[in-house]
Amino acid sequence: MGRRSTRASLAPDPTLTDLTPDQRLRQLELTVTRRLDGLLQGERRGLLPGPGSEPAGSREYRPGEDEVRRMDWSVTARTAVAHVREVDADRELTTWLLVDASPSMEYGTAELDKRELAVAAVATIGFLTAGPGNRLGAQVLTPYGLHRVPARGGRNHLFGLLRALLAAPRSGDDTEAAPRAVTDGADLADALAAVHRVANRRGLVVVVSDFLDGLPDEPGLPARWERPLRRLAVRHQVLAVEITDPRELELPDVGLITLADPETGGCREVWTGDRRLRERYAAAAAAQRDEVRHSLRRCGATHLALRTDRDWAVDIVRHVHAQRRLATASGSPRRGGAA
The pLDDT of residue 74: 85
User: pLDDT class for 242, splitting at 50, 70, 90?
Assistant: very high
- How distant, in Å, are the alpha carbons of 34, 43, 129, 152, 246 from that of 132? 21, 9, 10, 11, 39
> Could you tell me if 179 and 322 lie in one domain?
yes
The pLDDT of residue 39: 55
Q: What percent of the chain is predicted at pLDDT more than 70? A: 73
Burial of 182 (0-12, 13-18, 19+ CB in 10 A): middle
Give domain status of residue 46, yes or no: no
Is 50 exceeded by the pLDDT of residue 87?
A: yes
Give domain status of residue 34, yes or no: no
Q: Considering 39, 71, 87, which residue would you say is the last residue of a domain?
A: 87
Tell me the whole-structure pTM to 2 decimals: 0.72
Lowest mean pLDDT among 29-38, 52-61, 176-185, 233-242: 176-185
We report the CATH number of the domain holding residue 177 as: 3.40.50.410
> Could you tell me if 213 and 110 lie in one domain?
yes
- Residue 145's nearest CA partner among 164, 169, 161, 123 is 169
Give domain status of residue 135, yes or no: yes
Q: Considering 68, 87, 106, which residue would you say is the last residue of a domain?
A: 87
> Could you tell me if 73 and 194 lie in one domain?
no
> Could you tell me if 76 and 201 lie in one domain?
no
The pLDDT of residue 13: 44
pLDDT in tens, 93-102: 889 999 998 8
Structural domain for 205, as ranges: 90-245+302-330
Is 90 exceeded by the pLDDT of residue 159?
A: no
> Could you tell me if 71 and 180 lie in one domain?
no
- Residue 206's nearest CA partner among 331, 302, 88 is 302
> Could you tell me if 103 and 154 lie in one domain?
yes
- Residue 65's nearest CA partner among 80, 82, 49, 50 is 82
Is 70 exceeded by the pLDDT of residue 332?
A: no
User: Coil, helix or strand for 140?
Assistant: strand
pLDDT in tens, 181-240: 444 567 899 999 999 999 888 889 999 999 988 787 777 788 899 999 999 999 899 999
Give domain status of residue 62, yes or no: yes
User: Coil, helix or strand for 261?
Assistant: coil
> Could you tell me if 126 and 79 lie in one domain?
no
Give domain status of residue 324, yes or no: yes
pLDDT in tens, 167-176: 777 776 654 4
Say which residue, 30 or 325, is predicted with more confidence: 325
Cβ neighbours of residue 110 closer than 8 Å, sequence gap 6 or more: 245, 246, 307, 308, 309
Q: In what order do the strands lie in the sheet with 94-100?
A: 145-152, 135-142, 94-100, 204-209, 237-244, 302-307
> Could you tell me if 103 and 121 lie in one domain?
yes
Cα–Cα distance for residue pair 300/211, rounded to 1 Å: 15
Is 90 exceeded by the pLDDT of residue 296?
A: yes
Pairing of the two strands 302-307 and 237-244: parallel
The pLDDT of residue 16: 44
The pLDDT of residue 69: 78
Give domain status of residue 322, yes or no: yes
The pLDDT of residue 49: 42
164 near 178, Cβ under 8 Å?
no
Total structural domains within the chain: 2
Lowest mean pLDDT among 6-20, 268-282, 305-319: 6-20
Cα–Cα distance for residue pair 187/229, rounded to 1 Å: 13
User: pLDDT class for 136, splitting at 50, 70, 90?
Assistant: very high
The pLDDT of residue 225: 93
Is 50 exceeded by the pLDDT of residue 8?
A: no
> Could you tell me if 189 and 123 lie in one domain?
yes
Cβ neighbours of residue 197 closer than 8 Å, sequence gap 6 or more: none
> Could you tell me if 72 and 147 lie in one domain?
no
Give residue 82's identity as a one-letter amino acid code. A
The mean pLDDT of the chain is 77
Give domain status of residue 287, yes or no: no
Give domain status of residue 7, yes or no: no
Residue 183 half-sphere exposure toward CB, CA atoms < 13 A? 16
Say which residue, 3 or 161, is predicted with more confidence: 161
For residues 129-149, give the mean pLDDT.
86
> Could you tell me if 182 and 325 lie in one domain?
yes
> Could you tell me if 118 and 195 lie in one domain?
yes
Lowest mean pLDDT among 73-87, 146-160, 248-262, 323-337: 323-337
